[in-house]
Chains A and B, each alone.
Chain A
């Protein structure tokens, strides 16, 4: 009998390479916490600034340890295997330290803090807090939304964009974090692609902040809600989410930016060179806007028939459709009180998500499109088996290997949702809708679900272990399974 040889021993050699990126990411977190502390000072909340300051110091110490361990690292030579480990470690450590301010400043239980922080960085937007407005000081509010913003485009991608000369290691890192099946770079070097994406992201955020400010929001609310929108997060500083402002203009602006955030950011690159027609020529964007428009229109009609005034119906329907499809999860209306057909229409969006290459959650439309087309092709083959017909998305044919990967991805997706739902039902004893939607809303990074976890509810009543399970589902969904699950295959650790 041969004995399997394990690779744990190599961990010691690889340690610097793993520790250094982690240290850098933690430094980033500490800097972000300092920013939140500043905001606390500016907002007249010294206790908030203190909480954030203490957390920042603690994180900086951890970062220092990691950097000391990794001072001899060659990041350029980072292998594909280590890239997976690095991204998983970076996200894991972020989700842990992100909860620190809540532990210090708002008496959270540990599981609540981890849940909140994971929900923040993965841009899920599910919260365990029933009343957020008074429970948290401005600095903590800002930190919640800042986590969204950092996690939206991806903090590892940010480092790929900033650090010089990561070389092919940067490429492996980038691919382990950026969601979506198509990951062709925008420019030959990955660093430029990464920095372009971040630039678009920053510009979008700034434009939205100004727009919201002009529409009547205070700067603090404008900034935090812009973070939440562009990252397709879902946290809000208000108990009643974005509906709490009661400003039609603000709701329309947020709707518009949610829709933009659900588009492939790479297309902005092409649009800069070849004009805005590229959006229309892209099959995924066409499908995205088409489906979004149709479903929003149908829901609006249903709402009007149900007795709502037309302008409110249109606004709420557009907001809610965009919010669920892009996986944002902000709310202006309680769709639990709408006719049930609207919820069934929205249910599909929990699975599909918006475009690949965006900050949205879910499986991504491009994958769904490939599957649908493959299904149609298969149908046609059933009565005309000799026809040669590639599966096409837009004009490009999808090769069988890609199709296989997409199928595998969908399989894992459904399995994760199912297992999560079984856990929630088993441990919490809640009804079927609640269990399924709690799990689905976490995996797809949407946030609110149906039933007890609906748009006006919260996840606070779940037990600690369930919150940790749901947190890991969010992380799995954000990193699209592969990055995390690969670490749990024995072959990953075996020589």
Chain B
């Protein structure tokens, strides 16, 4: 596939690395010669210095024969123009990232066919939606919706007091139609078997039917649904989150440092409490009794503020703290310091872009633990190897798990006797090593 990537920021670089590794023809455009030189030196891709929204630059980059144009500069308008122009020049598909709120609404983090551009995604809104899902779950530190939200995958961290410790998975009493898809122990992810045992401090990814996940959260953690949420930062993420959660019956307090912005938010969102103040101001946090909240989300544009505010809230006794970080490479350190969930708009953006690029039989992809494993939704095409054979006779590669089958709108967690039929959507959890083998299973048999 021939891909033109405009903008070599965090997202651009990550997308380019993955695409080049997958063996695609990639041409990158950035207006900073130093950025371009760095990419040129490190990846096997073509490069161009210039403005990504300029027709001549795009033409030079080969947009006319491109299969995909990815526009991920810091400037929303440049991205939209570059994607649109790319399509006009003859590119087959285009994807653009926007970060402001004026191109998106709270419900729409991904906009299909906006100005004719195939996908316009706003990672900040996607993050707000993800935080809202976490808030509604019980005790989960991450929630991912799969197969059109029929299936959910939650991530819980096991406390030392959990009832689930020191038993083999085969002996665990999990709710029906749920299963443990992956376990992260000391940063290493593995897909567990029936003989594995859970330990305190493990982060466990549990997958199951959307309706049953609340009980799972209860069973694994000791959490409850958030009733009171404190949000620090009234930017795109903060205000969107307030809008989404404010619609349900959650008490929301939003802190914003900028007076004018705070007043504007208070005017616009009458149901929530808006506080004018700094989220790292300890005296103020105590005055507002932040420790009584059961969810704390620090979502300003400043990583240091988010980290500090999150740590303060944790110390004051908030059970679940969430921080956003611009630099995705720092997320592990945040976790070590005690923040429960760290989300990065950059990661969300690059995952979505890559998911879009990789879709063939693949319907969507979610990366776990920096890509150590992937949750893939695959369509079982007619005549592929997976169909018509009981699962236990399928010879799945090590590190892969057929977690869920969606057949005719009905989702189920399969047993060994189940069979996949033509046209089923299958949710697969696979480590990076097992992925190609899995995709091969879903391809049509040759001969």
Contacts and interface: CB of A to CB of B under 8 A. Distances in A.
Interface of A: 80, 165-168, 170-171, 184-185, 187-192
5 contacts: A80-B41, A168-B42, A170-B44, A171-B44, A191-B44
A188 B3 CA distance: 10
B38 to A, nearest CB: 12
B396 interface: no
Contacts of A188: 2, 25-27, 44-46, 62
Contacts of B26: 188-189
Nearest to B61: A188
Contacts of A168: 20, 41-44
B21 A189 contact: no
B23 interface: yes
A189 B26 CA distance: 7
A188 B4 CA distance: 10
A187 B65 CA distance: 12
A243 B46 CA distance: 45
Interface in B1-39: 2, 20-21, 23, 25-27
Contacts of B46: 184-185, 187-189
List of 10 A-B pairs having minimum Cβ-Cβ separation, nearest first: A188-B46, A188-B25, A168-B44, A167-B44, A188-B27, A171-B44, A188-B45, A190-B44, A188-B26, A168-B43
B287 to A, nearest CB: 55
Contacts of A185: 46
A165 B25 CA distance: 12
A84 to B, nearest CB: 14
A173 B21 CA distance: 18
A164 to B, nearest CB: 8
Contacts of B27: 188
Given A80-B41, A192-B25, 11 more contacts: A166-B44, A167-B21, A167-B44, A168-B41, A171-B44, A184-B46, A187-B25, A188-B25, A188-B45, A189-B26, A189-B44
A113 B43 CA distance: 40
Contacts of B2: 188
A185 B43 CA distance: 13
Contacts of A187: 25, 46
B24 to A, nearest CB: 8
Contacts of A189: 25-26, 44-46
Contact of A167 (B20, B41, B62): B20
Nearest to A192: B25
A80 B43 CA distance: 12
Nearest to B45: A188
A185 B42 CA distance: 14
A54 B104 CA distance: 73
A167 B17 CA distance: 11
A336 B2 CA distance: 55
A390 B144 CA distance: 55
A191 B23 CA distance: 11
Contacts of A184: 46
Most central of B23, B42, B44, B46 by chain A CB within 10 Å: B44
A204 B45 CA distance: 28
A191 B20 CA distance: 12
A211 to B, nearest CB: 34
A191 B45 CA distance: 10
A191 B43 CA distance: 13
Contacts of A192: 25
Contacts of B25: 187-189, 192
